[in-house]
Amino acid sequence: MRAELEARLRAGLVALELALTDQQVTRLLDYLEQIGKWNKVYNLTAVRDPAQMLTHHLLDSLAVIAPLRRFAQGRAIRLLDVGSGAGLPGAVIAICCPEIQVDCVDTVAKKAAFIQQAALTLKLGNLRGVHDRVENLTGPYDVIVSRAFASLVDFVTWSAGALAEQGVWMAMKGKSPDEEVAALPPGVTVFHVEQLQVPELHADRCLLWIRR
């Protein structure tokens, strides 16, 4: 099973034009196994099948790595993943971008504990699980990301206190959420929308870049 997952993962990386080391590929597969193990006891994710997890979680999260790398340009930045759940996309970002310090915040203690355990097991010094409400965090974070977390209004309102002065929000969405964009508060603007092509996933995916 693992060999098959690795072959599909590597094919996905080629499709995404994403260069990762063998160690990073191994860590991604180890991370997937960790989710599978913890899922038996804690309900981290509704998707249980490893083959489906590869597509819906891993490849979906990997689709944002190239845009994020373009933004960061190799700088050591701080990133917050809001409502991270099992660490998607935060843990994936931490594996692929060792120069980025990633905090994954979740209000569910067992999910934050899983991130902490994954960071330890996978030896990721740049990954941290935080059990808290995002409204309580002060940051400052250069990038705040969410994946199917809440409406754009709630996302930017709740996390505004944690965003650095020149920071950006990065919202992963399905279809471009025009109504949510129109409802954004004054002084907050979507400055770029990227269509994402997720290998093996036949669904609309886009990435919204937002700033003050």
Q: How many domains does the chain have?
A: 1
CB neighbour class for 210 (10 Å; exposed up to 12, middle 13-18, buried from 19): buried
Q: What is the mean pLDDT of residues 84-100?
A: 96
Question: Which 8-state DSSP code applies to residue 59?
Answer: I
Q: What is the CATH number of the domain that holds 55?
A: 3.40.50.150
Rounded Cα distance, 100 and 161, in Å: 20
Which residues, listed in sequence order, are joined to residue 168 by a DSSP beta bridge? 143
Query: What pTM does this model have?
Result: 0.96
**Nearest C-alpha neighbor of 11 from the set 24, 25, 32, 27:** 25
- Residue-wise pLDDT for 141-166, tens only, equals 999 999 978 899 999 999 999 999 99
Give residue-wise pLDDT tens across range 45-89. Answer: 777 788 888 999 999 999 999 999 999 999 999 999 999 889 999
Range of the domain at 131: 2-211
